[in-house]
Amino acid sequence: MTTRERYEELKNILNEHSYKYYVLDNPDITDEQYDKLMRELTDIEKENPDFISVDSPSQKVGGKVLEGFETVTHAVPMQSLQDAFSFDELKEFDVRVRNVLGDDAAYCVEQKIDGLSVSLEYVNSVFTRGSTRGDGITGEDVTENLKTVKSIPLKLRENIPYLEVRGEVFISKPDFAKINQRREENGETTFANPRNAAAGSLRQLNSAIAAKRNLDIFVFNIQQIEGREVSSHLEGLELLRKCGFKVISNEQSFKTIEDAFAEIERIGDVRRDLYYDIDGAVIKIDKLSHRDALGSTAKTPRWAIAYKYPAEKQKTKVKDITVAVGRTGVLTPAAELEPVLIAGSTVSRATLHNIDFIRSKDIRIGDTVVIQKAGDIIPEVVDVVQEERTGAEVEFNMPETCPACGAKVHRETGEAAHRCTGVDCPAQAIRNIIHFVSRDAMDIEGLGPQIIEKLVENELISTSADLYYMDKDKLAALDKMGEKSADNILNALENSKQNGMEKLLYALGIRHIGAGASKLISKKFGNIYALFDATVEELSSIGDIGTVMAESVVDFFAQPHTRDFINRLADAGVNMTYSADETTDNRFEGKTFVLTGTLERYGRKDASEIIERFGGKVSGSVSKKTDYVLAGEAAGSKLDKANALGVAVISEEEFEQMIK
């Protein structure tokens, strides 16, 4: 078998297993077996990039950074549905339908997925374009992000010259909860519901971010088709299944509106057990000829209507407000509630996000409050029942010191989050240590996240400083470690002691202080201990170090915890002084570069490091002050702006000549 034949075979095998896993939910190989096949395929693609085709499973990974979204005009308008909130309104809809169709009308009833509506277009069975609904007439081209959705086939399992389908992109309930948990821990605004999360994910300009959100889709309608005849909605859904789409389960039609009511009630009974969120049920006419007879208004079809389920709300009391510290140091308040049954489960706790949320709703300890589950998932306080106040309610204030370590709590101007500033806070231990050992920080090989978690769980370390005091025998005794691996880690730790102050300063994880700023500060002060007495004025006098950054450094080194931590590192032999650059080549001094497009020879990070090493500066936007725009493949709006402003545009080849 030739390499090309093996590649085609691997493609077919992997696409078939992806279909079974993500669409049929019935895998027949293990994740390890799938990963092994995928590695073989990507290895072949690295050696033979000309083999790569649009239907390769490797094209679903994501990673393209887009300059912006192109607009798409929908040939078939993506209309919205008329909403109904009672069965009486549905009966009125039925009367209007039967006035046109008589007793020949038949309905389909399906779940109304709470997500983002998109169009998928296929030419000769190959996925060519995906777009958002937008205003129904004009949407945005989000093809690259949709390629990351594993349940969207890149190539149809049926041969169809042209097909456009409509579907709903969504995020599952478990993934939604995880995303919000991570955002809360990072001090970011949480998504209100799965629909907002899906919309925010699909409109990411970096498809790698979209890929991490585990987007999914249900396809529910054929918008256009060539080469096949379809006469009914159910027939169309069956064809979509054969094509490889994940389709909303719908296998029967209903002759009367009363039968449709029964199906709506059945869906309502099971909706809280679904792994995805729905906000209603949709009634549609089955026969396409009947749809044509009923027609549409400017905004909505006359052949379909959406029934919205009422949100369940309950009253309960706030017994207390407690504060938890996340792994990024963000303090998150939560209401401890008198237990109450809502949406099928007992709720005794609800996140309050931050102090601004508490103040906006005026939530106090002892209040009677109304709660519901956001997207039927996350308990949230909707309102305070003011009329039930007795005067004994207590206003809540965020703590001034961290409940986990006692360090000072800080809230920056313009931010909603309160953060712990402790360098050795146990609540942040694993995250802080992972950052401490990372490449741009202390660069300690062999200490990946899993090993660090194992070290913390087995109580070999609790802070980054503890790394330099580990017992070799205890380290070697860990599961899957051994003496050789332990020696390698200890040697790497020993070597890291020689790093300069600039790497140590970055490793401390001071808010707003990146690797570049750490180098500038280290060059100015020369020794880590000099920062204990540094002032905001001294720090902000350094080029590119602003007031906010300077205040962050001063606050950090004012903490007793910080001084103790630095002393432990010094006692272990870690270098505290700045290592001056060996190079004195400042050929790019005073020059500002902007990088755009895909760089083949250098990653953006590598190119940026080279520019900075030669004294230059890298900016994220093009202006009249920009000296060079380094443009790779598929450069977009930044290149256009550079040309309009007359800024010098250089290729990778020209850049390579400049740095020789």
Residues tagged active-site? 112
- Asked if 511 and 581 touch (Cβ cutoff 8 Å), the reply is no
DSSP at 121 = E
CA 48 to each of CA 57, 190, 452: distance values in angstroms, whole numbers, following the listed order: 15, 43, 37
- Asked if 499 and 457 touch (Cβ cutoff 8 Å), the reply is no
Query: Distance between CA atoms of 262 and 265, rounded to whole angstroms?
Result: 5
Beta bridge partners of 594: 619, 629
Residues 108, 111, 112, 117, CA torsion sign: negative
Residue carrying the six token digits 């009422």:
310
Residue carrying the six token digits 């159910």:
234
**Distance of alpha carbon 296 from the chain centroid:** 37
Q: Where are the alpha helices (DSSP H) in 392-500?
A: 429-437, 449-457, 472-476, 482-496
- Asked if 456 and 433 touch (Cβ cutoff 8 Å), the reply is yes
CA 496 to each of CA 265, 352, 489, 491, 585: distance values in angstroms, whole numbers, following the listed order: 64, 42, 11, 9, 26
Cβ partners under 8 Å of residue 536, min gap 6 = 547, 550, 551, 554
* Residue 12: how many other CB atoms lie within 10 Å: 12
With CA atoms as reference, report the closest residue to 332 among 198, 406, 427.
Answer: 427
Q: In what order do the strands lie in the sheet with 278-285?
A: 83-84, 304-308, 278-285, 107-113
Q: Where are the alpha helices (DSSP H) in 341-481?
A: 355-361, 429-437, 449-457, 472-476
With CA atoms as reference, report the closest residue to 289 among 232, 224, 346.
Answer: 232
Q: E strand or H helix at 200, and its extent?
A: helix 194-202
DSSP at 89 = H
> For the packed helices 547-557 and 560-571, what is the interaxial angle rounded to 10 degrees?
70
Query: Distance between CA atoms of 65 and 47, rounded to whole angstroms?
Result: 24
Residue carrying the six token digits 């802070």:
463
* Residue 611: how many other CB atoms lie within 10 Å: 22
- Asked if 248 and 240 touch (Cβ cutoff 8 Å), the reply is no
With CA atoms as reference, report the closest residue to 60 among 75, 81, 42.
Answer: 42
Buried b (16+ CB within 10 A) or exposed e, 239-270: bbeebbbbbbebeebbeebeebbebbeebeee
Buried b (16+ CB within 10 A) or exposed e, 415-453: eebbbbbbbbbebbbbbbbbbbbbebbbebeebeeebbe
